[in-house]
Amino acid sequence: MGKKGLSDVFAATIIILVSVILFAAVYINVINAVKKSSEQATLQYSSLSDNILDLRHFNAEKIMMGDYDAELRRDKTNYVSWGGRIDVPLLASRLEEANINTYGFLLWHSPDTDWEDLHIFLNYTENSQLDVYAYLVPPSEGCGNVLPYRCDFESWARELAKLSLKYRNLKGWIIDDFANNKFNNGFFSAEYVSKIMETTEKINPEFNFYPVVYYRHFSDYGSFSGYAGIIDGIVFPFYSSYPSCNLNSTIELEPQIEMFNSLYNSNSQFIQVIFPHNLSSKAGDFVSFSAKISEIGDSLTFSINNLVSYDQTGYHIAQALVNDRIIWESDIGNRTESRFSVQQFRKIDLSEYSKEDILSFRVFEKKKVYNFEVNSVFYVPKASWAVNSRGNFSYKIEDSVNNNLDLIIMIYSGKLCGESSPDYVHNANKIVLDMAAGKKAKGSMIYCLDKTNISLGSKYDKIKNLYSDYE
């Protein structure tokens, strides 16, 4: 090879080396820039923590001990409830300190930036076992303002499911007030929800959807049962309505949890009893349903729901009987009482009776009526019910479907109808966790636990101590 050839090879080698060096320098600068941007994205919200939290002490088969909303935000100098950016390290730290293992991340208070903050929060807690659920609002609460997908829930479903593949701690999503006003004036039709579920199923079959559904909605089996076979479960916000809306009584909590399970998670039956509004009755008209106690067992659990919205006190009486002896009775026409779950749900011990004894449910007319209809539903154990009747009563008996739905109970820590006390928040959550231990619920998700007041005896302190008992 001549000098010219050697010179050409040397020049080419130099060019290649210079190119490699320049490429490497550019690559390193890009990586450093990305890393610096990521660090700044986290640090701009807080300088209180420089390390990823380690929440590995949570049990993989855990009872849900959750919290939702009341995120810690700040503007440039002060902590704020609305607007500002989420202080990710401080929020995660407060969740860990309270032994909270699940968090509902609300995208609403700062609709322009909450989507970005969700990514940061997921990244920050990625190596922990803190479960996260994205929490969206429906049309009735202004989903059109929440970026980037507004009220396009198919897009939310698709992108959240994709995000759950990147961040394993994103377990599912929730839509607030899903069933209110007849499913947001029909926006959330069963067909639309089916499309949403198909979207997430194709991407991540383990990604769960839990709409927020109140007692008055799921107890109306005819209206809600069409969704029960589509969704994965519900978030049920509990408050007592007995004798009026309040946040100090838990008397209705266990009955309402039992009602949900009897409707959607058991192999039971419902018996609908109807007396038309345009026909008259005679005192003593009745319809009854009878079966041997051997088919029922030693314990009877049943519910009754009056679907008539106006008061008819003193006319229509529902009863449970053993061998024609009354063991329970209720005036189902009395809307003041019959609308409460403490009246609707009943447990009766049958162990004292023989297996051959006959249990009956009966609705009869105490007084003659001219235009007072009956439309009540008994939710009862599955049995071979023998029917007897007199008058213009009609009925239908249908099997319920065991949908194996998850039930998450939301206990109010913030205001609704009055202010909840620390003791109420503790006691209500304890009932939920005990029922979750008995496999009757997935667990609790507290509504707006105040994470700024962490003093001794505060709601935060009560929950911290309670949750530590169930780890």
Alpha-carbon gap, residue 349 to 450, rounded angstroms = 42
In terms of DSSP H, where are the helices of 333-386? 335-338, 341-344
CB-based contacts of 278: which residues, under 8 Å, 6+ apart?
Answer: 371
- pLDDT for the residue numbered 77: 62
Residue 135: which of 155, 116, 98, 160 has the closest Cα? 160
- pLDDT value of residue 96: 97
Q: Are strands 208-209 and 170-175 parallel, antiparallel or unpaired?
A: parallel
Q: Tell me if 320 sits within 8 A of 328, measured CB to CB.
A: yes
- Three-state DSSP at 347 gives strand
Nearest to 298 by CA among 262, 347, 359, 349: 349
Omega prior to 243 cis, within 30 of 0? yes
So what's the pLDDT on residue 350?
A: 96
Structure-block tokens of residue 23: 């490429």
Q: What is the pLDDT of residues 220-240, one digit of tens each?
A: 888 899 999 999 999 999 999
Residues 136 and 156: beta-carbon distance below 8 Å = yes
Helices (H), 167-250: 180-185, 190-203, 215-218, 221-228
Tokens, residue 290: 């009878």
Amino acid at 326: I
> Which stretches of the chain drop beneath a pLDDT of 50?
1-6, 9-12, 14-18, 20-60
* Structural domains of the chain in order of their starting residue, each with its CATH number: 64-266+403-468 (3.20.20.80), 268-399 (2.60.120)
Spatial separation of the C-alpha atoms in residues 356 and 326, rounded to whole Å = 17
DSSP secondary structure letter of residue 82: S
DSSP string, 121-148: HHHHTTTS--EEEEEE--GGGTGGGSTT
Residue 339: what pLDDT? 64
pLDDT of residue 19: 52
User: Using CA atoms, how far apart are residues 447 and 452, in angstroms rounded to an integer?
Assistant: 15
**What is the residue-averaged pLDDT of the chain?**
86
Give, rounded to a whole angstrom, the gap between the first and last alpha carbons of the chain: 78
Q: What is the DSSP letter of 11?
A: H
State the DSSP code for 240: B
Q: Does pTM surpass 0.75?
A: yes
